[in-house]
Amino acid sequence: MKGKLDPSVRQALVEEGKNLKETLIGLEEDLVELTDKLQLEAQSIPNATHPDVPVGSEESSVVRKEVGSQRSFNFTIKDHLQLGKELDLFDFDAAAEVSGSKFYYLKNEAVLLEMALINWAISEVSKKGFTPLITPEIVRSSVVEKCGFQPRAQNTQVYSIENSDQCLIGTAEIPVGGIHMDSILLDSALPLKYVAYSHCFRTEAGAAGAATRGLYRVHQFSKVEMFIFCRPEESDKWHEELITIEEDLYASLGLHFKTLDMATGDLGAPAYRKFDIEAWMPGLERYGEISSASNCTDYQSRRLGIRYRPTPSEPPPANAKKGKAAGGPTQFVHTLNATAVAVPRLIVCILENFQQDDGSIVIPEPLRPFMGGLEVLSPKSK
Residues serving a catalytic function are 202, 217, 289, 292, 345
**Strand arrangement of the beta sheet that strand 286-295 belongs to:** 62-67, 257-261, 273-281, 286-295, 334-342, 220-230, 192-201, 131-134
3-state secondary structure of 186: strand
Flag whether 311 is marked binding. Answer: no
3-state secondary structure of 166: strand
Flag whether 71 is marked binding. Answer: no
Nearest in space to 296 (alpha carbons), one of 124, 171, 113: 171
Cβ atoms within 10 Å of 359's Cβ, excluding its own: 15
Flag whether 204 is marked binding. Answer: yes
Flag whether 98 is marked binding. Answer: no
Flag whether 289 is marked binding. Answer: yes
CB contact set of 348 (below 8 Å; sequence gap of 6+): 80, 214, 215, 216, 281, 283, 284, 288
**Alpha-carbon dihedral of residues 49, 54, 57, 60, nearest 10 degrees?**
-160
Measured in degrees and rounded to the nearest 5, phi and psi for residue 90 equal -150, 165
Flag whether 203 is marked binding. Answer: yes
Flag whether 264 is marked binding. Answer: no
**Alpha-carbon dihedral of residues 126, 128, 131, 134, nearest 10 degrees?**
-40
Concatenated DSSP letters for 90-118? EEHHHHHHHT-TT--EE-THHHHHHHHHH
**From CA 57, how far away is CA 137, in angstroms rounded?**
32
Cβ atoms within 10 Å of 237's Cβ, excluding its own: 11
Determine contact, residues 73/340, Cβ cutoff 8 Å. Answer: no
Determine contact, residues 171/139, Cβ cutoff 8 Å. Answer: no
Flag whether 156 is marked binding. Answer: no
Flag whether 202 is marked binding. Answer: yes
**From CA 58, how far away is CA 242, in angstroms rounded?**
22
Flag whether 135 is marked binding. Answer: no
Flag whether 234 is marked binding. Answer: no
Binding-site positions read 171, 202-204, 218-221, 225, 289-292, 337
Residues comprising the binding site for L-serine? Answer: 171, 202, 225, 337
Binding residues for ATP: 202-204, 218-221, 289-292
